[in-house]
Amino acid sequence: MDSRARTYTIDEITQNYRDELNTVLEPGDQPTTYEDYDDFQLLVIRRLRMEDEALGTTAEVFLLRQGEVCMFERNEGLFRKLPDAYESLADCIEAYHSRNQRILTAYSAEIERLEDALFTRKIPAYFMDLWFDIKKDVARIENYYYRNSLVFKEFNRRHRSKFGETADWFKDLEEDIIFQQGSLTNLKSKLDSLHHYHDSIKSERLNRTIFTLTLISGIFLPLNLIVGFFGMNTPGLFFSEDPAGTYLVTLLLASTVFVSLFGLPIVKLADRWVLRFLLGRYNVYQNILKRLKQANSKYKDE
């Protein structure tokens, strides 16, 4: 910013709207807005910024009057005139938009990392905390872009005749903001899908735990019945007259344990390796590759 540029105090700008102007210029996070007063207009642009532990925003205030564009310097409490009016304003907004875009890209990369962690089943213990933080920030960014698109559209409509050579740029920026809104919608949908998939994995693990407990019960229940049956002090029991009766009962117990432990896993293993891979029942990759080869052959024949 050129320190030699013309500066204005609030009193030099207006007396009638001094209180309103002071309210807008108060330190704090002002929303993006466009205000039209009698002799001047205010354009407040809230830009994104990354802090150490959170997503933050900063409001930048621009004054437009009599063909001039001034930027508010909070440290000095003055409006400083931009050298090239709307062209300088376009440069400032472009810089803000570029930073916002980099922040949005960084969030997209974090979502992809979560997605990779789910697909590789390397889910961190803090997954849901991280998911909620990203979901909250993406929702804030979506509201931010929605507000910006409304204000920027109003600003373009009111000042289009003053833009000069930068008119196309302002129009492109308005379209780019709308495009980024669509990208944010996609990110929210991806986050919702990740949450659903995470719940599915948790449900699968819970089902496995229940299955393990059921399996343990299935092992010990028959064992208790067998031991209780052969432990009865009554005549006529099986193997009671057989010299190898103890061996046979032990073999029966071992067979029961083996069937309980390995019966169902063997069936699942046979389904996975025999039916799917050897018979090609569920080999989706082979089916896709086969279709591609058929399409390529047909294309070459033509």
C-alpha span between 216 and 209 (Å, rounded): 11
Which residues have CB under 8 Å from 56's CB, separation 6+? 29, 48, 49, 50
Residues 19 and 156 in one domain: yes
C-alpha span between 154 and 149 (Å, rounded): 9
- The verdict on residue 211 lying in a domain is no
- pLDDT band at residue 274, thresholds of 50, 70 and 90? low
Does the reported pTM lie above 0.75? no
Between residues 143 and 121, the one the model is more confident about: 143
User: With contact defined as beta carbons under 8 Å apart, do 156 and 171 qualify?
Assistant: yes
> By mean pLDDT, which of 94-98, 177-181, 239-243 is the weakest?
239-243
Query: For the sheet containing 78-81, what is the strand order?
Result: 7-8, 78-81, 68-73, 55-65, 41-50, 33-36
Q: Quote the pLDDT of residue 281.
A: 46
- The verdict on residue 133 lying in a domain is yes
- pLDDT band at residue 287, thresholds of 50, 70 and 90? low
pLDDT above 80: residue 288: no
Residues 60 and 156 in one domain: yes
When divided into structural domains, the chain yields a total of: 2
Residues 58 and 107 in one domain: yes
The pLDDT tens digits for 227-252 are: 665 555 556 555 556 677 667 767 77
Residues 40 and 177 in one domain: yes
* 239 Rama class: left (phi>0) / alpha (psi -120 to 50) / beta: left
Axis crossing angle, helix 167-230 with helix 127-159, rounded to the nearest 10: 160
Between residues 141 and 24, the one the model is more confident about: 141
Residues 190 and 252 in one domain: no
For the chain, where are the alpha helices, taking DSSP H only?
10-13, 18-25, 86-119, 127-159, 167-230, 245-270, 284-301
- Owner of token pair 């399996």: 215
Average pLDDT over residues 49-53: 80
- pLDDT band at residue 94, thresholds of 50, 70 and 90? confident
> By mean pLDDT, which of 123-132, 170-179, 229-238 is the weakest?
229-238
- The verdict on residue 214 lying in a domain is no
pLDDT above 70: residue 158: yes
Q: Quote the pLDDT of residue 284.
A: 55
**Full domain range(s) for residue 297:** 232-301
